[in-house]
Amino acid sequence: MMESALTARDRVGVQDFVLLENYTSEAAFIENLRKRFKENLIYTYIGSVLVSVNPYKDLEIYNKNHMERYRGVNFYEVSPHIYAVGDNSYRSMRTERKDQCILISGESGAGKTEASKKILQYYAVTCPASEQVQTVKDRLLQSNPVLEAFGNAKTLRNDNSSRFGKYMDIQFDFKGAPVGGHIINYLLEKSRVVHQNHGERNFHIFYQLIEGGEEDLLRRLGLERNPQQYQYLVKGNCPKVSSINDRSDWKTVRKALTVIGFNEDDVEELLNIIASVLHLGNVQYGEEDGSACITSDTQIKYLARLLGVNGTVLTEALTHKKIIAKGEEVGPLNLEQASSARDALSKAVYGRTFTWLVNKINTSLTYTHYSVIGLLDIYGFEVFQHNSFEQFCINYCNEKLQQLFIELTLKSEQEEYEAEGITWEPVQYFNNKIICDLVEEKFKGIISILDEECLRPGDASDLTFLEKLADTVGGHPHFVTHKLADAKTRKVMGREEFRLLHYAGEVNYNVNGVFLRCVKTVCVCVCVCVCVCLQVMCMSENKILNQCFDREELSDKKRPETVRYVFFLMFFYVMKQLRFLRFTWCVFLSSSGRFDEVLIRHQVKYLGLMENLRVRRAGFAYRRRYEVFLQRYKSLCPDTWPNWQGKLSDGVATLVKHLGYKPEEYKLGRSKIFIRFPKTLFGTEEALETRKHSLGEIPIAVQAWWRGILARRRARRRRQAADTIRRFIKGFIHRHEDRCPENEYFLDYVRYSFLMKLHRNLPKNVLDKSWPTPPAALTEASEHLRQLCMQNMVWSYCKKISPEWKHQMEQKMIASELFKDKKDNYPQSVPKLFVSTRLNGEDINPKVVQALGSEKMKYAVPVTKYDRKGYKARPRQLLLTSSGAVIVEEAKLKQRIDYGALKGISVSSLSDGLFVLHVLSEDNKQKGDVVLQSDHVIETLTKIAICSDKINNININQGSITYTVGQGKECVIDFTPGSELLVAKAKNGHLSVVSVNS
């Protein structure tokens, strides 16, 4: 428990800041951190909050033995640790049946990413496992190196800094085994793709590919093994980092991609995109008559191949813009605009690919909602000299989290006091709602003003945005601009900055670039331009880019989503999740490898740790359930030692009276004792240490008494075992008789054994028909259980079916009803998936599409039509729309059969692909029935039957089919089996079809 380390407090401080005597002193808080850090005790609690100081070195506290030490124990029973947080959340999820969240915050370099990995590793080792569960565990763990490669980078503060926010759900089944997961990413720092500060690097994956990629791979991608050759990798002038082994990390990432479930095609397409970003950075521009032109074709050739686009079209996209003027699209880009176009395309391609990667990982984790533990790895509140719009979003995010945490902490404290019948004393704390409202309030908050300025016609800019801010919120006590500030403040504020007074202190934000970054177009050139790069990416043959860039965006007239909109949409989703979760906050501090007091004090302030402590200490420093308190300290009072026989509350009252507690030092609740001052607890703990020595010598009489108790217990267990054996043997002898006292134990044992065997050997899926043979007494119950088990497996299976797969199965079911055991080539169609169409858009003449107008095309397939005179075979296309079937010859609509005029469909029972569409003879538009042949006859007829609602009108004929032509004349098709498919006019005038035996 927490108390176990109190006697060593002079050497290592206190392991819970709540027990600090001078809890309002920041100096005492930091001194306690320093003492513990010096002894490599990097973890300390503030109640249930875990505070960690990054030691910047490996500590032997993360092995399997440590995991077992924290497994299933009380939160305060052992010393503070990230494993204790993970285990407490896990057990709370299991026992309380309530989803949990572990919120990890802190500044760059504080160890947040490592902490989330440690929690995942803890669950991987300590949770129940099976072969399927082990696969999920492996994928959860291997998602980390992949996300780090694509989303982390070296910064000035951290060699492995997460440049995106991450919320991960870990899903557990009813046994407590991890069975899935889901990741939400937000606010990826895409600007890093094209620019890095001096001493920083681009995302890890670029360097890993160049350093670790095989020679053949680099040659195919057109890359050199030298990062200095690429403009996007030289800005920070930091190609090598001593603490990073890019070559080794490359092998780790490649292995991780395989474990997660990426096939070779996925990896190839992904690496093509990464290489294309590097080539984009090397696209060089010249200038002709004030317009930009690309000076080298080499990069364009590589880009065209890697991105799967037309090189000429890509060149046009990187040098021209669209200006909508009188229906014409004109306008070359100047040099500056073209460079912006190139960089914006690079950021968009990388950003969308990263989102695709996260979604791909989510798919591999088979997300299914059972019980949840969420891991929220969030940027920390940070203060730089020139803070950007992204940092503004991050700081606001932390402001909201601080508000939420204080609210929930106060709420839980107040609820505990009320439940225990103790008067709640209101707590004074800094309520940062006023700052949150300043940012998010509708119509007059900073975000609303920014949106309004983005939509405003005219010459809107960053400076007009700043002026609008000053006019609207200039009188707010937490806001100031250079124009509104006093003379002293103006000396440290630029004219393009505004200042917010956060709960953690004053922060200046620079508006340069805020306006442009706020509008999230694929490329930002000038406000009136819409970059044609979007169109080019939508035409890409790269399967990943084809999913990342939706063609519907081209015709979407809605206002583009903004960076602000995307960030806040995701953030409010996370905030909503947190309000319904029981969450634990972990705060991580950066120490630069040593205890830098100035740096630590700065973080303690802006992370609001002192505010947290004040809320936790609002009244009582220590509270424990009566049974726990009495069990630990009962030896200090003769009336409670060795055992207390009465009510627990009376026992605790007797104990504290004997210890001399004063009325103002404690309160007794309904189930807990509350102690106000740490010194009271420390005095009790010291008395216990003294008492332990006097308890060390046990009198001989007591030893003999205890030995007698143990002997009697052993004898009783032996008698019970012998009696059990006799009852079992007697029951076996009478096992075939009706239930009676002689056999009831045996029969119960048999039932129990069957149920346990069943529990261990339940069917794995709906196709598994195995089921243990039940004893006679459980035959009926066994059948009920078997049906329930099957229903549950079917329900679970159906729940996982996607809409696309459901549609596929519905079609296959109809095909089965129509053709199973009726048509010879049906079995060959079963393993083949039905496709949505057999003809792509470019296969159908535009004139045909124009002639169809607004009719939605549901299916298209090439067919052969046999004409009415001489049965000559002619290539045609069969198009199914919502209202009818259309037969097309190149650009002409040769025949249209409305579904209302379709009487039925005839097909032979053999393996040929011929079928006849029978039409109403009264329909003057038709010239009779139509004879067609399809290489995909089962699929085609199923589609026709569904579209026309003629499922019951398909006739499968043996030997021959009779159909009508113009003026009521009848013709016949004869079908015979043979070794080679042959369709020809027979001597008797019939159409003869020789069908190959399947």
Give the active site residues: 108-109, 113, 158, 161-162, 380, 382
> First vs last Cα of the chain: how many Å apart?
75
Closest CA to 465 of 433, 511, 519, 417: 511
Is 921 annotated in a binding site? The answer is no
User: Is 110 annotated to bind ligand?
Assistant: yes
**769 annotated to a ligand binding site:** no
Burial of 471 (0-12, 13-18, 19+ CB in 10 A): exposed
- The answer to the question of whether 737 is labelled as a binding residue is no
Q: How far apart are the C-alpha atoms of 895 and 885, rounded to whole Å?
A: 8
What is residue 215's three-state secondary structure? helix
Matching residue, tokens 């019939």: 990
Residue 110: C-alpha distances to residues 107, 590, 941 (Å): 6, 4, 64
Nearest one of 607, 583, 577 to 408, comparing CA atoms:
583
Tokens of 891: 């650009």
Contacts of 210 by beta carbon, 8 Å cutoff, 6+ apart: 218, 223, 224, 225, 226, 227, 246
765 with 792: CB under 8 angstroms?
no
Tell me the CB-side half-sphere exposure of residue 494, using CA atoms within 13 A. 13
Q: Which long-range contacts (CB under 8 A, 24 or more apart) does 842-848 make?
A: 843/877, 844/877, 844/879, 844/888, 845/888, 845/890, 845/891, 847/891, 848/879, 848/888, 848/891, 848/892, 848/893
Judge whether 232 and 304 are in contact, CB under 8 Å.
Answer: no
SS3 readout for 153-164: ECCCCCCCEECC
Structure tokens at 940: 């085609």
385: part of which helix (H) or strand (E)?
none
φ, ψ of residue 382 to 5 degrees: the values are -135, 150
Contacts of 259 (CB under 8 A, 6+ apart): 138, 139, 142
The Cα 58–Cα 54 span in angstroms is 10
Other Cβ atoms within 10 Å of 636 Cβ, number: 17
Tell me the two tokens of residue 642. Answer: 């060795």
Beta partners for 887? Answer: 878, 895
> CB count, 10 Å around CB of 898?
16
* Residue 111 marked ligand-binding: yes
Residue 738 corresponds to which tokens in the numbers above?
A: 């009706």
Q: SS in 3 state form for 679-710? A: HHHHHHHHHHHHHHHHCCCCCHHHHHHHHHHH
- 816 labeled part of a ligand binding site: no
Alpha carbons 200 and 860: distance in angstroms, whole number: 54
CA distance linking residue 501 with residue 345, whole number of Å: 36
Q: Single out the residue of 42, 185, 68 nearest to residue 122, CA to CA.
A: 68
Alpha-carbon span 419 to 949, nearest angstrom = 64
Tokens of 415: 């609820």
Is 847 flagged in the annotation as binding?
A: no
Instruction: Consult the annotation and say whether 108 binds a ligand.
Output: yes
Residues contributing to the annotated binding site for ATP? 106-113
Residues contributing to the annotated binding site? 106-113
